[in-house]
Structure 1
Amino acid sequence: MTTSPRSHEPIVSGLSPDRRAVFAARLERWWPTLVEGLASAYEEPEVVAERVVVLAARAFAERSDDLHDLDLRRSLAPDWFQRPEAVGYAAYADRFAGTLRGVAERAPYLRRLGISYLHLLPLLKPRPGDNDGGYAVMDYRAVREDLGTMDDLTDLTRTLREDGISLCLDLVLNHVAAEHEWAEKARAGDPHYRDYFIVHPDREVPDAFEATLPEVFPDFAPGSFTWDDDLDGWVWTTFNSWQWDVNWANPDVFCEYADIVLALANRGVEALRLDAIAFIWKRMGTSCQNQPEVHALTQALHTVTKLACPATIFKAEAIVGPRDLVGYLGVGAHHGKVSDLAYHNGLMVQVWSMLATGDVRLASEALRRIDPIPTSTAWITYARCHDDIGWAIDDGDAAAVGVDGFRHRSFLADFYAGSFPGSWARGLVFQHNPETGDRRISGTLASLAGLEAGDPWAVDRILLAHALILGWGGLPVLWMGDEIGLLNDIGWADDPQHGDDNRWAHRPRMPWSVEEDQDLFQRVRRLVAARAGTPHLHAATGTTVLDPHDSGVLLTLRLHPLGPMVGAYNVTDTDRWVWGSHLRDLGLEPHGSHDHVSGGAPHLDGPGDVRLRPYQAVWLTATLS
């Protein structure tokens, strides 16, 4: 079948001529891209494509008028998530406001902060008991009972949309809870659903796979397969014994997830964080991460939204090596066709590395090696998230600046655990792997930046970290409480469900008793507003990391049509300078420049050298007319 199918036509026949014409035009445009993505994984890609077109047509026909209107407006402004005024916020719904209705009531707070994108961590119904913080989903079509209902979710998206805020939810793609309906039917002996999972009768194949598989949770979930008596086999379980990996080689699984995506989009969800996306395709002799089929299938899944709900975008949760990251936004034949957003994990790691060492040379080397991304996409930039920090320092990057990668990773783990002499950080070691020496770190931004320890420069470090992520371009996301300096939760282990997972130390509840006129909140708010007023920070303009002429100052350049923007970030507790001659070489006259962070002229010394106070950031452009 070289042309688009017609099996969907009875579904849309009752719609207005204009609506039918819209769907037909989208199908004509996106059919080849859909088939192309499916062809990398399935023997009959056009058959699978026709199945999902029917699903898309049904979702299109059921979509509300206000969401069709949103689709139209987003088609006229496809860069909405790339704009400087786009700033995100991430939180657990219950920790932020108790329930989904509570979140809706707190929308004015988010707007005052300047937020236009809200990511609520997993809220679809998880398994009871241990559930990996909600990532062991038992039902994709229900909300956790303590948070509300699916109707509450629809009401929340409508309220947020009226306030100019887009809601992002997690969609776990690699696995489901062992109690999910698919798993229950597989256990009951249904061969159709057994093939939704990867099951082997003995250890021969699992042992062969595990020879090259890394362990995600070596402390409490070693290995990647779990024996199940009812299945009479070893089921693939990358993360935990109660999280069963689904079999994406089965096209039925693809169709199931396409239908789930469409259902959430019709609830008003405008962004989906594709959790554990890197793991969905398995290949013997590899790490079973970042396989080519991952990008092809994501392209196909993304194309389904283009048919029915193009206002919905994808964010890839791919915490992978720097060389693999760009693939999740699309390279080669998949250029710009995979996800719209991807996490810039490398930037987050380098922010903390620079703050610990007061040296930008490793960060400059590592960040400049990352390939450019499609201009229609954006990085998610962040200083902290719900997860631990893994010290993803590439040995080659480290060697290029005379640093031993293993020793530097060990130093960072010691420093942020607070055990290195002179450290101002107060983090907790998470998932120590004695065989590899890997030690990840938990902790809030404020505790890791020195506020818990009472360090006098802590607030300045917090603001510098925010300035870095806000000034990089892309879509910056603030983690709940970072804007008011929340410290580690000393009672994180009191809940027995969290007792063995110290990541809950950096997931405290939002203390609404804190006044919004708090100094840190107001300073972060001003940074967000400064970003919104800086057109040079549109994500379509890439960031170039410059050679540092001072090891304590990270220098970035953005070549925007309005002129160059130079970002300068002092990661030390001493005064530093950006040479005026260097700025002139970049096309920026210091005496005619404007610092968007302070809102005025930069402090100049001598022949136009820009003085930076300890931990100061500047975003320099030509003086605004």
Structure 2
Amino acid sequence: MFQYLLHQKIKKICNEQLLDIAGVDHAFYIRFIANANALQDLYNTIYGNQKNATQDFDALLVLIIESYKLRKPVFRKKDQIKEQQSAWFTSNQITGMSLYVDRFAGSLKAMPERLNYLQELGVNFLHLMPLFESPEGESDGGYAVSDFRKIDARFGTLNEFKILQEKMQAAGMYLMIDIVLNHTSHHHEWALKAKAGDKKFQDYYYMYDSREIPDQFDATMPEIFPESSPGSFTYVPECNKWAMTVFHNYQWDLNYTNPAVFNAMLSNVFFYANLGVDILRIDAPAFIWKQLGTTCQNLPEAHTLLRLIKQCVHIATPGMAILGEAIVAPKEIMKYFGTESFTAKECDVAYNATQMALQWDALATGDTRVMLAAQHELLQKPFGTTWITYTRCHDDIGLGYDDSMIAAAGFNAYEHRKFLKEYYSGSFQNSPAKGALFSVNPKTQDARISGSLASLCGLEKALLSVPKNNNQSDSNVKDAIQNNSEIDAAIAKIILMQAQSMFLGGIPMLFYGDEVGYTNDYSYLGDPGKSYDNRWMHRPIIDWEKNALAKQKGTIENRIFSATQRLIQLRKSLAVFSDTKNITWLSPHNIHVAGFIRYNEEKKMYCLFNFNNKAAYITWFLFKEHGLAPIELVDLWSGKKHKVGSDHEYLVMEPYQFAVFELLN
């Protein structure tokens, strides 16, 4: 709808900012006008009743234009290319890795020399874990930010970051970094001013003179870290107030009912966009709006704020996609892609955390029925958006899928989750996994799981079972490793898990170290700043001598690296693995095997995954029930060809085997 006054206001500000709206800045101006109504409506939904709403909205318009003006020509050109590609992040050509710069390469300065290693693997998209300044000992892994525009000295400098970005761009690589919208460190400039009694900056946070209102909040807010940080408020002696601290007592929650907070944090969003960031990962967006009498999670206003951010980014810096890190139930995660008129206009990307957890469920039980029960809801993801698909990340593994999904598979939800926790913490009899429970709630016994991909798949225990004594030669130890069935099974499980994440649909995101089979690192126990958080066991410091073994044929590192490399190559070779909402899950012909079809106009690929430790038998009818009657198949992974048999005959899949079948005729 044409709104004369609003459009004239935008035109006036553009002219005041010396934009050439009929020339080089025309595309920006058209985007602005096209999205102005939605921008204003979203803003007024949140802030329309504020005393200075008109002035605050005008300040937002100026911020959008100023941020566009700061955008380098090279980034504007990249914006145009991405817009022509449309939903560029759904491409099968993108494969990611998430890493800590200091633990992977030592520093930002050293990162460029590691790009060749990543390119050899096939990785062309990097998620660099939090880089901006956070206090040593109170950093929460970098998610307690004290300065959103200063690289922490532990990693290097802002200039070194820019150099890395330029080298990545020259190499055709994409970049993702985090922004923590929900809170700041209590050492942030705003928090320091609030402690000193500055009312303006106290209003940037939720701060109260007594426990009255905090107690009302606590009555309905679940504890995030009940062991280490019970409750959601912390007393601040410097100003004799209580501050909301949902995560840790050193992380103060920002108050987005204050429009000054929104504009200040949006300015930081644009700062990152103009550093050349391709995807901005918004940490914990479910928490950014608080309201008494609720859980203060996943509230409608949080979605309105995300949509408002998306509109602003689309106008000023359209080449940057938005990822919402909402680790919530499937019904809730769908809302982060947007609903109704804002479908596919909220977050472009989200983590498929449910599928990740379901993979671990299937691996422990050897049963894929819970996984299959969840797919109806996961398939609701809108066209033009995509997932991050992954088996491990820096965080713990939550078991947040619905009880109804567990019940649909015939299991008792409480007993099922109890089994999974015991299996992966290694306390279940004969479990090959070696992990640990994280954030155990003493009231409910809820817990999550820590541990590296390799250790949870059994590699750590398998290596411990290899006999070692001083009389053995290196060649004997090597032979013992190469002929160890437990090691073989662990490696097969690692590749099975990565394969399903790779071919499922979305951006596959490896976690650094997993590509060469790093097991748990227990050195964190000697660091007082980390010892309380067992997630550090799966955040290794890279030993580049170990990684160099990836080139030595027959080593564990080589077997895992080369298989991961092949998975990436296979995915990139077939456009059918782009995420165009082109997946159909197969009905369960065998409860141990999960399967789906990926299809486009040219190809139909059958992907099957046996999560059991025994051979699985699949009736050949599976390949006929979707309108085709193929005569011959080839498994693009193994290279084996198969004649399709009669319906009463079977395809046999070995333990932890997967296959990517192409129909030959």
Aligned to 1:165: 173
Q: Report how far residue 577 of structure 1 moved.
A: 3.1
Contact 2:14 2:21 in 1 (8 A): no
Aligned to 2:662: 621
Aligned to 1:41: 46
Q: 1:419-434 counterparts in 2 under 5 A?
A: 419-434=427-442
Structure 1 residues 459 and 26 mapped into 2: Cα distance closer, same or farther (>3 Å)? Answer: same
2 CA distance for matches of 1:589 and 1:22?
50
Instruction: Give SS of 1:452's match.
Output: helix
Give the length in aligned residue pairs: 624
1 CA distance for matches of 2:431 and 2:392?
19
Q: 1:346-425 counterparts in 2 under 5 A?
A: 346-425=354-433
Contact 2:592 2:611 in 1 (8 A): yes
Structure 1 residues 610 and 331 mapped into 2: Cα distance closer, same or farther (>3 Å)? Answer: farther
Structure 1 residues 33 and 16 mapped into 2: Cα distance closer, same or farther (>3 Å)? Answer: closer
| TM-score relative to the length of structure 1 | 0.96
2 CA distance for matches of 1:556 and 1:478?
21
Structure 1 residues 312 and 600 mapped into 2: Cα distance closer, same or farther (>3 Å)? Answer: farther
2 CA distance for matches of 1:287 and 1:556?
36
Contact 2:146 2:184 in 1 (8 A): yes
Aligned pair partner of 2:271 in 247, 263, 271: 263
2 CA distance for matches of 1:472 and 1:21?
39
Q: 1:150-189 counterparts in 2 under 5 A?
A: 150-189=158-197
Q: 1:200-349 counterparts in 2 under 5 A?
A: 200-349=208-357
Aligned to 1:137: 145
2 CA distance for matches of 1:120 and 1:448?
24
Aligned to 2:554: none
2 CA distance for matches of 1:312 and 1:546?
35
Q: Report how far residue 582 of structure 1 moved.
A: 2.1
Instruction: Kindly indicate whether residue 619 of structure 2 is the aligned counterpart of residue 611 of structure 1.
Output: no
Q: 1:21-40 counterparts in 2 under 5 A?
A: 21-40=26-45
Aligned pair partner of 1:198 in 206, 212, 224: 206
Q: Report how far residue 559 of structure 1 moved.
A: 4.2
Residue identity opposite 2:503 in structure 1 = G
Instruction: Give SS of 1:577's match.
Output: strand
Contact 1:596 1:618 in 2 (8 A): yes
2 CA distance for matches of 1:11 and 1:307?
18
Instruction: Give SS of 2:356's match.
Output: helix
Residue identity opposite 2:537 in structure 1 = A
Structure 1 residues 217 and 160 mapped into 2: Cα distance closer, same or farther (>3 Å)? Answer: same
Aligned to 2:467: none
1 CA distance for matches of 2:42 and 2:632?
50
Q: Report how far residue 512 of structure 1 moved.
A: 1.3
Instruction: Give SS of 1:320's match.
Output: coil
1 CA distance for matches of 2:342 and 2:196?
40
Aligned to 2:478: none
Instruction: Kindly indicate whether residue 521 of structure 2 is the aligned counterpart of residue 489 of structure 1.
Output: yes
2 CA distance for matches of 1:462 and 1:545?
22
Residue identity opposite 2:525 in structure 1 = A
Structure 2 gap ranges (5+): 463-485, 552-557
Aligned to 1:527: 567
Aligned pair partner of 1:511 in 529, 543, 558: 543
Q: 1:107-146 counterparts in 2 under 5 A?
A: 107-146=115-154
Contact 1:7 1:50 in 2 (8 A): no
2 CA distance for matches of 1:363 and 1:320?
16
Deviations 1:355-388 (A, max 9, x none): 0000011111123333511111001111001011
Residue identity opposite 1:613 in structure 2 = E
Residue identity opposite 1:578 in structure 2 = I
Q: Report how far residue 621 of structure 1 moved.
A: 3.4
Aligned to 1:476: 508
2 CA distance for matches of 1:186 and 1:86?
43
Q: Report how far residue 612 of structure 1 moved.
A: 1.7
1 CA distance for matches of 2:361 and 2:164?
38
Q: Report how far residue 578 of structure 1 moved.
A: 3.0
Structure 1 gap ranges (5+): none
Contact 1:122 1:169 in 2 (8 A): yes
2 CA distance for matches of 1:619 and 1:390?
29
Structure 1 residues 543 and 48 mapped into 2: Cα distance closer, same or farther (>3 Å)? Answer: farther
Contact 1:531 1:537 in 2 (8 A): yes
2 CA distance for matches of 1:557 and 1:545?
6
Greater CA radius of gyration, 1 or 2? 2
Contact 2:277 2:320 in 1 (8 A): yes
2 CA distance for matches of 1:142 and 1:602?
58
